[in-house]
Structure 1
Amino acid sequence: VVNAPITKFLYLKHLTILISERTFSPPYNYFSLVYFFDASPSLETFFLDVRHCSSYPSKVPHEDVKHESVFGASSHLGELPEQQHNCLKIVEIIGFSSAKSLVELTCCIVKNAVSLECLTLDTLRISGEANKTCWPISNDELKEASRAVVAIRMYIEHRVAPTSKLTVLEPCTRCHSR
């Protein structure tokens, strides 16, 4: 805990955060990103890219990156702060996984973003060019993408307001069938 003044980004409307494999030692707590929503009352769009294996050259193998899964022993989600976000309309998370802190962050966004229009959860963006085959992925990555889809169905989908559009991008069944 650091005793520092709280920074506010009063006029910030669009925020993109890229978390690379270098951030994952020890595993990153995605839920800590809630701070940006509280500090940015004018935020309208939020893009979070947590891909860290297939798209970028990596010094840390994907298998070495361990996050507590929402399906783990303590699968109860943490308490979500009550802080309405009146301007947040578009949220996209690329590389969505079953990491408990990422599911908690997404649930918090869905609960508090009262103006949310579009939520896109991309479990594994691996498509190549149009009408071509997807890039190769490991079986572990494919399994995690499938677990991410289950986590979305169990913990997030039913919380999304009927006025919001939820888009879940799953692995391509043409190229990555089990």
Structure 2
Amino acid sequence: MVLGKFLHLKYLEIKLFIPSRSPDYDFCSLICFLDASPNLKMFVLRVEEPTIEPGLIPGVKIGEDFSSGSSIRKHRHGKLKSVIINGFRPWKTMIELTRCILDHATSLKHLILDTTDGYHRRRFAKCFPLGKDTLAEARKALAAIRTYIEGIVPAKVNFKALEPCNCNKCQDV
């Protein structure tokens, strides 16, 4: 994609459905959309996956080294102010994408990483219960966020890692 192709784009929302037959999707490939949108102010990534067998999608082993950086092309994203990743998972390329955004979005003010696809919120005064696999994956995602992302978030960025609801109804599934 050519840099500057979407000159007027200010809001970009991408929804990805990751099927179990494509477990190795490279989230870093999404950087080309940011590079092609120099006036982008808000980027929303929604990741959905079907119920899958444990271990099918490659995750990160806590303690893995991210210090050498990734092979992502690096452009400055000077106008990007808000990033939301809904369905954040502990996958290596998703962590690399987030770290790249933090490194190169010089105007970033808000970063929200939601580990449960938004289903942990109360809706109509009811909590929607989460399955054991979903809760376990959200806990792994939180551990990855704390290990690889939290420490590099600049102080000027309003950062939130959204975790599952703690009510008894949600935890008893």
Q: Same fold (TM over 0.5)?
A: yes
Which residue of structure 2 lines up, in the alignment, with residue 143 of structure 1? Answer: 136
| Residue ranges of structure 2 left out of the alignment (5+ in a row) | none
1:20 is displaced (CA, Å) by: 1.2
**Percentage of identical aligned residues:** 37
Aligned to 2:2: 6
Counterpart for residue 97 of structure 1 = 89
* Deviant stretches of 4+, over 6 Å: none
Q: Kindly indicate whether residue 24 of structure 2 is the aligned counterpart of residue 31 of structure 1.
A: no
Counterpart for residue 145 of structure 2: 152
The answer to whether 1:168 aligns with 2:148 is no
**Per-residue Cα deviation, 1:1-29 (whole angstroms, up to 9, x for no partner):** xxxx636212111100000144x532221
Please report how far the alpha carbon of residue 140 of structure 1 lies from its aligned counterpart in structure 2 after TM superposition: 1.4
**CA contact under 8 A between 2:76 and 2:104: conserved in structure 1?**
yes
Q: 1:71 aligns with which of 55, 58, 61?
A: 61
User: In the aligned structure 2, how far is the partner of 1:85 from the partner of 1:15?
Assistant: 14
Q: Which runs of 5+ in 1 are unaligned?
A: 54-60
Conservation of the 8 A alpha-carbon contact between 1:67 and 1:100: no
Residue 108 of structure 1 is matched in structure 2 by 100
Aligned residue pair count? 164
What amino acid is the match of 2:98? Answer: T
1:14-64 deviations in Å (ceiling 9; x for gaps): 100000144x532221111011111111111000000224xxxxxxx3327
The one-letter code sitting in structure 1 at the alignment partner of 2:75 is Q
In the TM superposition, what whole-angstrom CA distance separates every residue of 1:114-145 from its partner, at most 9, and x where no partner exists?
100000000002135142122x3321111110
SS at match of 2:144: helix
CA distance in 1, matches of 2:57, 2:96: 13
Q: Distance in 2 between matches of 1:142 and 1:100?
A: 19
The alpha-carbon distance between structure 1 residues 6 and 66, as it changes in their structure 2 partners (threshold 3 A), is: farther
What is the one-letter code of the residue matched to 2:58?
Answer: E
Q: Which amino acid aligns with 1:26?
A: S
Helix, strand or coil: the match of 2:48? Answer: coil
Contact 2:62-2:144 within 8 A present in 1 as well: no
Distance 1:109 1:68 in 2: 21
